[in-house]
C-alpha cells in the first residue's frame, strides 16, 4: 500500500497549490456533497454517494469480503473540526468515524481516519 501511495503522490506532485492541500470547512463539504466518492481498496473501488442532505449510501460486494454483514448500507455524513465524519447503520460497526482529507490531484484525495487507517479515494 505504501509503495502504491508513494507512486501516486509522485505522479500527482506537479499540482498547483490550488489543487493540493488539506480540505476543510466549506471546501471539504463541497468536495463531497452530492457526489460519488470511490474509496480505493486492495480489491477494487467502493462507491459511496454523499447526498447534499447529509445522508450517504454505499453498495458493494467487496464489503462482504472485509467482514461487513451487508452489501448495501446507508448512513449520514457531516463536517466537523476540519474533518469529514460518517456513520453507517451497519458498516464499520455502526460507529461514527472522522477523516482528514488532503487533495492530491484534481479529483483525488488522501484520507486519514481517526483510528489511524489511511487510503486514497477518487471524487466523482
Mean pLDDT of 87-92: 91
Q: Is the confidence at residue 1, as pLDDT, over 60?
A: no
With beta carbons less than 8 A apart as the criterion, state whether 84 and 77 touch. Answer: yes
The CATH number of the domain holding residue 101 is 2.40.128.640
Chain-centroid distance of CA 29 in Å reads 12
What is the pTM assigned to this prediction? 0.79
Look up the domain containing 53 and give its range.
2-123
* Per-residue pLDDT tens over the stretch 7-39: 343 344 443 334 569 999 999 999 999 999 999
pLDDT at 18: 43
In sequence order, the β-bridge partners of residue 59 are: 72
* Neighbour tally for 42: CB within 10 Å: 10
* Per-residue pLDDT tens over the stretch 41-80: 877 889 999 999 999 999 887 656 556 668 899 999 999 9
Q: What is the count of structural domains for the chain?
A: 1
Amino acid at each position: 500500500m505504501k509503495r502504491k501511495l508513494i507512486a501516486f503522490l509522485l505522479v500527482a506532485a506537479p499540482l498547483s497549490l490550488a489543487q493540493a492541500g488539506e480540505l476543510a470547512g466549506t471546501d471539504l463539504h463541497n468536495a463531497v456533497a452530492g457526489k460519488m466518492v470511490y474509496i480505493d481498496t486492495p480489491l477494487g473501488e467502493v462507491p459511496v454517494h454523499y447526498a447534499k442532505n447529509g445522508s450517504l449510501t454505499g453498495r458493494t460486494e467487496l464489503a462482504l469480503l472485509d467482514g461487513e454483514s451487508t452489501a448495501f448500507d446507508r448512513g449520514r455524513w457531516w463536517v466537523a473540526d476540519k474533518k469529514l465524519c460518517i456513520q453507517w447503520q451497519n458498516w464499520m460497526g455502526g460507529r461514527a468515524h472522522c477523516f482528514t482529507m488532503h487533495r492530491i490531484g484534481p479529483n483525488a484525495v488522501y484520507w486519514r481516519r481517526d483510528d489511524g487507517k489511511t487510503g486514497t479515494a477518487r471524487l466523482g
